[in-house]
Amino acid sequence: MRIGSGVLIVWLIIGAIAAGQRHYYNSSDPNCAKLGTIVVTIAAGPLNYIGVNPKISCKTPQPSK
């Protein structure tokens, strides 16, 4: 169990580094798409370095007039 936990921690750290290298943390306009992309990039971990480039798009409903 300890090996699995260690692998998971390293996996997430590698994903966080990949998100940092793509400058996802420097956004001055945070929104749901940006947050979703950061989360998916971190979850993808080392897969980011073999060509996976996850992107999330989301649209929030506009209030009725």
**Domain range for 23:** 2-50
* Higher pLDDT pick, 63 / 5: 5
| Residue 63 DSSP symbol | P
Instruction: Write the pLDDT tens digit of every residue in 10-65.
Output: 999 999 999 999 888 887 777 888 888 889 999 999 988 888 888 878 877 777 77
Classify residue 16: in a domain, yes or no: yes
Q: Which of 14, 6, 15, 7 is nearest to 42 (CA)?
A: 15
Q: What integer pLDDT is reported at residue 62 of this predicted model?
A: 77
Note whether residue 46 is domain-resident: yes
Residue 54: predicted pLDDT: 80
Residue 42 confidence (pLDDT): 92
How many C-beta atoms surround the C-beta of residue 18 within 10 A? 20
Enter the pTM of the model.
0.77
Domains identified in the chain, total number = 1
The neighbour count for residue 10, using CB atoms within 10 Å, is 12
- What pLDDT, on a 0 to 100 scale, did the predictor assign at position 63? 79
| Three-class DSSP category at 60 | coil
Does 55 map to a domain? no
